Chains A and B, each alone.
Chain A
Amino acid sequence: MSSLSATIQNVFNEPGCGKNANKSEAERKKGCTKQLQPGGAAGGCAFDGAKVALQPLTDVAHLVHGPIACEGNSWDNRGAASSGSQIWRTGFTTDINETDVVFGGEKRLYKAIKEIIEKYDPPAVFVYQTCVPAMTGDDINAVCKAASAKFGKPCIPVNSPGFVGPKNLGNKLAGEALLDHVIGTVEPEVTTPYDLNIIGEYNLSGELWQVKPLFDELGIRISACISGDGRYKDVASSHRARAAMMVCSKAMINVARKMEERYGIPFFEGSFYGIQDSSDSLREIARLLVERGAPADLLDRTEAVIAREEAKAWAAIEPFKKRLTGKKVLLITGGVKSWSVVAALQEAGMELVGTSVKKSTKEDKERIKELMGQDAHMIDDMAPREMYKMLKDAKADIMLSGGKSQFVALKAAMPWLDINQERSHAFMGYIGMVKLVAEIDKAIYNPMWEQLRKRAPWETASNNWQAKAIAQANAEAAALAADPVAAEAARRAKKICHCKSVDLGTIEDAIKTHGLTDVAGVRTHTNASGGCGACAGRVEDILAAQKAPTAPLLQAAE
């Protein structure tokens, strides 16, 4: 059993990760853990990432080993749907106390596992490590091993305490736990040439079920979904599937790739967001299955289903297109991949005016550019004021985002629709696209927005917050325009690398002074892109811009 740090190193070394592949050996070792800026607002931790990735396994008990904070705050906070067992929703925690911190909590953990097995008898118990017992040295691997042996029931250690890194790392560590302890431990009772794994799909709002009938019709069997509406036994025997579809690329790429490596299960990365994407994915699934020995007629049958479903979806969207054509959408999203939603929106006749790329990979960005054109407005962070300005200048009609950004949108009086995990509607597949379009239509035409944007009747045109905000922004812009020195300072102060807090000026100076030509060089001299690496693209752009006018060495010589 590898140590936690070795597992993390292993995850960092993921060859399937495009971003990782672009890194130097030294950089790779440092990992993709974005070192959080102390004092800054931050997202979820590795524990949370592991928990959300595995929690949709519905028939196992998820036991959080730690003080009440970890389970108390995260209990049942995702809208993943189960078609059977509800035990995944029950909040199990060891709720450790001071004595456990001083004397160790392993015994309590062992007893908790015992009580779960006695009272609930689930097919498996997943044990989540958290910061406190990780620091005091509770060995959950050993406890799980002992419990598994004693009770004859798989107890799976999920070793992803919060402090090791961000949520995304936790997703991957969850995948490692499945690879180490679950996948391949049970032989399936039956196999068919049509067995498919779906990886990185969480069945939020039951959206997988919107696609499943199509699989059923085609005779494609989901041998395991990791992890939406998943069953322990299915996941444990998923190594016999013929092919796999990876849905959320960043979260579980290690699972897909290692299953290919270990069990020869080919995978592709696809999405069921949008009509075109759904069709492409179905085609790809059919192709992979046929390649692995399924009867070739699957291809034709798939095409027939695609044709029928596309026609149905288009017909259902048609009445909306009239109302939505030309509507401008601002897309701020984390989990649901930006580019897959982009295609979906364009199908409904909408125009995408901007999208967030905070969590998108380089490939994601390339695809966005492909879809939206080179002028794609990619946003790392957007202040309410800017958002309101976009709205005011008729640059956007609606914002689609996750729950966390909703308040920014609402305060900026921007129509808003939730498309992340806490949403209450299922947007997957052909039906999901129709639903998404209907929901966008509903959101845009909600009269409440008009109310929201209207100033109070006693406020004059110049004396309301919107006007003040715009005036302030304009004044700042005017001040900069009038003062070239300040403007240059402002330009140079633009933060390029958020992790290491490096601004544009520093990078430009470094490039000039040292005649740098690549990202690695910039990283060596300024530390920029030494964190999560997400800014490498921006650094490349700066390098390109700097190279154009004069040769750096010449300039340095001057």
Chain B
Amino acid sequence: MTQSAEHVLDHFELFRGPEYQQMLANKKKMFENPRDPAEVERIREWAKTPEYREKNFAREALTVNPAKACQPLGAVFVAVGFEKTLPFVHGSQGCVAYYRSHLSRHFKEPSSCVSSSMTEDAAVFGGLNNMIDGLANAYNMYKPKMIAVSTTCMAEVIGDDLNAFIKTSKEKGSVPAEYDVPFAHTPAFVGSHVTGYDNAMKGILEHFWDGKAGTAPKLERVPNEKINFIGGFDGYTVGNIREVKHIFEEMGIEYTILGDNSNVFDTPTDGEFRMYDGGTTLEDAANAVHAKATISMQHYCTEKTLPFIKNHGHEVVSFHHPVGVTGTDAFVMALSKLTGKEIPESLALERGRLVDAIADSSAHIHGKKFAIYGDPDLCLGLASFLLELGAEPTHVLATNGNKEWAERVQAVFDSSPFGKNCHVYPGKDLWHMRSLLFTEPVDFLIGNTYGKYLERDTGTPLIRIGFPIFDRHHKHRYPVWGYQGGLNVLVTILDKIFDEIDRNTNVPAKSDYSFDIIR
């Protein structure tokens, strides 16, 4: 036996043993109707051709390797950003398990979230009873201060009316009548996780500002000097929100982070389990209506939320996930303009340091070609930063990007001579990206963990920036926003560039004449 109790092999090693190799070979030969390896190879090569690409891009119905997730994931992400709030997803429990594992695997933190566990009879007769029981159980078992309800497709298909259901549940005594249960309809067959973020954020603000679903008077806005900040769906939320707070504090601005999940996704190990941690207090969420202005860091995460806020009399500003010097300049300038506060010397120094770092290393990035995929705002932010560095974002692809997004990306390309040969691909998937990487190769690919298959198949080195990142740890702790964040993105890109140079020069007696200590 390859495996033995004295020396237990893990799966990396075990299945390379002769018995397993033999077994797998036999299975293939006898039961799997194996194809001629030459034919397999021929097809593999054919799939790299422009001819195949053409067929690939003619795909109409099938999505292969999508670079997006579903609405409720975004809704859960928002909900945990409020004080002691339990995300409650009305629908089937399997979906909810996905959101929890997705968030857990990325942030390496527990992810608390419940579902109404709808079953077949609920699908037939409606999910009201599941809502009534679910809210009561969740309220009693987990003692949340608020329950934020969103939905899976199942509830949406049968048309469950959350507003009415929650009202009925309260009447039936599931939760106290004055208890906060904001809600949002978040069907996965519309939009993506960024849409879900938008709907959930709007649902919560609407709840607090517009009379708690008719159970309280609407809030009268008494403008103050505060600024609201909305980060949007963001895999770097832990580092980013802390960085943004730092910027606000350096500038002496009073602020409210709406949906502050920076603590709940980064709880300390000190003997205490925190099901909830940090978050925007419910009081702050309500009082946010009085703020002078609201800033959204990701336009496509707040397409409905921001107009809603504007209607309440706020000044609103949105960004596309700003990364780098110009992006961050625009962000701090907007803060300065909205508040009348001056930008302090401390931020000018941070800026100078980022500029300095760029100057020190730019020669290595300048002229390199990149493919980027990810959420629409992230793509825009990264593409702008690459152009700033003299790199070419040759392919920019967002499965959840639309035509209007594509126009914005094109405008970014047009703003720089390095954008001349760059193309944007809205609504395409990672199998499209595969064809792009084969037919129009680039130096590096930027994307999430799923990009590793593209890296393996096409040989394009993957720089992991995005969500989810499952196979590298703790990236979410480091900001990508602010001048410090720009530095982190720069270093992430550079590390891969240098790794590649080393990898290409490290063969003893062959290429190691350039395997240098100093780069």
- Tell yes or no: A374 within 8 A of B by CB: no
Contacts of A84 in B (CB 8 A): 509
- Tell yes or no: A76 within 8 A of B by CB: yes
Q: With contacts A77-B517, A84-B509 known, is A458 near B342, CB below 8 A?
A: yes
A439 nearest CB across to chain B (Å): 8
Query: How many Å lie between the Cα of A443 and that of B517 in the bound state?
Result: 23
Q: With contacts A86-B509, A456-B343, A458-B342 known, is A451 near B326, CB below 8 A?
A: yes
- Tell yes or no: B123 within 8 A of A by CB: no
Query: How many Å lie between the Cα of A410 and that of B361 in the bound state?
Result: 11
Say yes or no: B508 contacts A448, CB within 8 Å.
no
- Tell yes or no: A79 within 8 A of B by CB: yes
Closest to B342 in A: A458
Say yes or no: A452 contacts B355, CB within 8 Å.
yes
Say yes or no: A447 contacts B388, CB within 8 Å.
yes
Closest to A458 in B: B343
Say yes or no: B518 contacts A77, CB within 8 Å.
yes
Contact of A451 among B333, B388, B512 (CB under 8 A): B388
Chain A positions 369 through 413: 1 when the CB is less than 8 Å from some CB of chain B, otherwise 0: 000000000000000000000000000000000000000001101
Query: How many Å lie between the Cα of A446 and that of B364 in the bound state?
Result: 11
- Tell yes or no: A442 within 8 A of B by CB: yes
Chain A positions 438 through 450: 1 when the CB is less than 8 Å from some CB of chain B, otherwise 0: 0000110111100
- Tell yes or no: B329 within 8 A of A by CB: yes
B323 nearest CB across to chain A (Å): 13
Say yes or no: A410 contacts B418, CB within 8 Å.
no
Query: How many Å lie between the Cα of A457 and that of B336 in the bound state?
Result: 11
Query: How many Å lie between the Cα of A312 and that of B518 in the bound state?
Result: 32
Chain B positions 325 through 357: 1 when the CB is less than 8 Å from some CB of chain A, otherwise 0: 110011011001000001100001001000110
Query: How many Å lie between the Cα of A191 and that of B342 in the bound state?
Result: 77
Chain A positions 416 through 428: 1 when the CB is less than 8 Å from some CB of chain B, otherwise 0: 0100001010000
Contact of B390 among A81, A447, A459 (CB under 8 A): A447
Task: Tell which of B326, B355, B359, B416 has the most Cβ of chain A within 10 Å.
Answer: B359
B421 nearest CB across to chain A (Å): 15
Chain A positions 445 through 481: 1 when the CB is less than 8 Å from some CB of chain B, otherwise 0: 1111001100011110000000000000000000000
Closest to A86 in B: B512
Say yes or no: B329 contacts A457, CB within 8 Å.
yes
Say yes or no: A448 contacts B329, CB within 8 Å.
no
A459 nearest CB across to chain B (Å): 8
Query: How many Å lie between the Cα of A75 and that of B518 in the bound state?
Result: 11
Closest to B356 in A: A410
Please report the total number of B residues contacting A with Cβ < 8 Å.
36
Say yes or no: A83 contacts B513, CB within 8 Å.
yes
Closest to B366 in A: A446
- Tell yes or no: B367 within 8 A of A by CB: yes
A411 nearest CB across to chain B (Å): 8
Contacts of B508 in A (CB 8 A): 86
Say yes or no: A448 contacts B389, CB within 8 Å.
yes
Contact of B362 among A83, A206, A446, A456 (CB under 8 A): A446
Contacts of B518 in A (CB 8 A): 77, 79, 422
Query: How many Å lie between the Cα of A76 and that of B513 in the bound state?
Result: 12
Say yes or no: B351 contacts A446, CB within 8 Å.
no
Say yes or no: B358 contacts A206, CB within 8 Å.
no
Query: How many Å lie between the Cα of A81 and that of B505 in the bound state?
Result: 12
Closest to B337 in A: A458
Contacts of B360 in A (CB 8 A): 410
Query: How many Å lie between the Cα of A458 and that of B348 in the bound state?
Result: 9
Q: With contacts A446-B362, A447-B418, A448-B362 known, is A458 near B333, CB below 8 A?
A: yes
Among B503-519, those with CB < 8 Å from A are 508-509, 512-514, 516-519
Contacts of A452 in B (CB 8 A): 355, 358-359
Task: Tell which of B351, B362, B366, B508 has the most Cβ of chain A within 10 Å.
Answer: B362
Contact of A206 among B351, B418, B514 (CB under 8 A): B514
Contacts of B190 in A (CB 8 A): none
Contacts of B216 in A (CB 8 A): none
- Tell yes or no: B184 within 8 A of A by CB: no
- Tell yes or no: A302 within 8 A of B by CB: no
Query: How many Å lie between the Cα of A183 and that of B502 in the bound state?
Result: 36
Query: How many Å lie between the Cα of A459 and that of B332 in the bound state?
Result: 13
Query: How many Å lie between the Cα of A43 and that of B342 in the bound state?
Result: 44
Q: With contacts A447-B418, A448-B389, A457-B333 known, is A81 near B363, CB below 8 A?
A: no
A62 nearest CB across to chain B (Å): 15
Say yes or no: A447 contacts B416, CB within 8 Å.
yes
A458 nearest CB across to chain B (Å): 5
A400 nearest CB across to chain B (Å): 13
B10 nearest CB across to chain A (Å): 35
Q: With contacts A84-B509, A456-B329 known, is A448 near B390, CB below 8 A?
A: yes
B344 nearest CB across to chain A (Å): 10
Say yes or no: A442 contacts B358, CB within 8 Å.
no
- Tell yes or no: B387 within 8 A of A by CB: yes
Say yes or no: B513 contacts A442, CB within 8 Å.
no
Q: With contacts A77-B517, A456-B348 known, is A448 near B366, CB below 8 A?
A: yes
Closest to B513 in A: A81
Contact of B516 among A79, A442, A448, A456 (CB under 8 A): A79
Say yes or no: A76 contacts B517, CB within 8 Å.
yes
- Tell yes or no: A82 within 8 A of B by CB: yes
Say yes or no: A446 contacts B390, CB within 8 Å.
yes
Query: How many Å lie between the Cα of A368 and that of B386 in the bound state?
Result: 40
Query: How many Å lie between the Cα of A451 and that of B333 in the bound state?
Result: 16
Say yes or no: B517 contacts A448, CB within 8 Å.
no
Contacts of B348 in A (CB 8 A): 456, 458-459
Closest to A453 in B: B355
Query: How many Å lie between the Cα of A442 and that of B326 in the bound state?
Result: 21
Query: How many Å lie between the Cα of A451 and that of B359 in the bound state?
Result: 9
Contacts of A410 in B (CB 8 A): 356, 359-360
Contacts of A424 in B (CB 8 A): 516, 519
Closest to B418 in A: A447
Q: With contacts A79-B518, A410-B356 known, is A446 near B363, CB below 8 A?
A: yes
Say yes or no: B351 contacts A456, CB within 8 Å.
yes
Closest to A83 in B: B513
* Shortest 10 CB-CB contacts between residues of A and residues of B: A81-B513, A448-B362, A458-B343, A410-B359, A446-B390, A76-B517, A446-B366, A447-B390, A457-B329, A82-B513
In addition to A410-B356, A451-B355, A458-B333, 10 A-B residue pairs with Cβ atoms within 8 Å of each other are: A76-B516, A86-B512, A411-B356, A446-B363, A448-B366, A451-B326, A452-B358, A457-B333, A458-B342, A458-B348
> 22 A–B contact pairs at CB < 8 A?
A77-B517, A79-B518, A81-B513, A81-B514, A83-B513, A84-B509, A410-B356, A410-B359, A410-B360, A417-B363, A442-B363, A445-B390, A445-B417, A446-B366, A447-B389, A448-B362, A448-B389, A452-B355, A456-B329, A456-B351, A457-B329, A458-B333
Where the two chains meet, the residues of A that have a C-beta atom closer than 8 Å to any C-beta of B are 75-77, 79, 81-84, 86, 205-206, 410-411, 413, 417, 422, 424, 442-443, 445-448, 451-452, 456-459
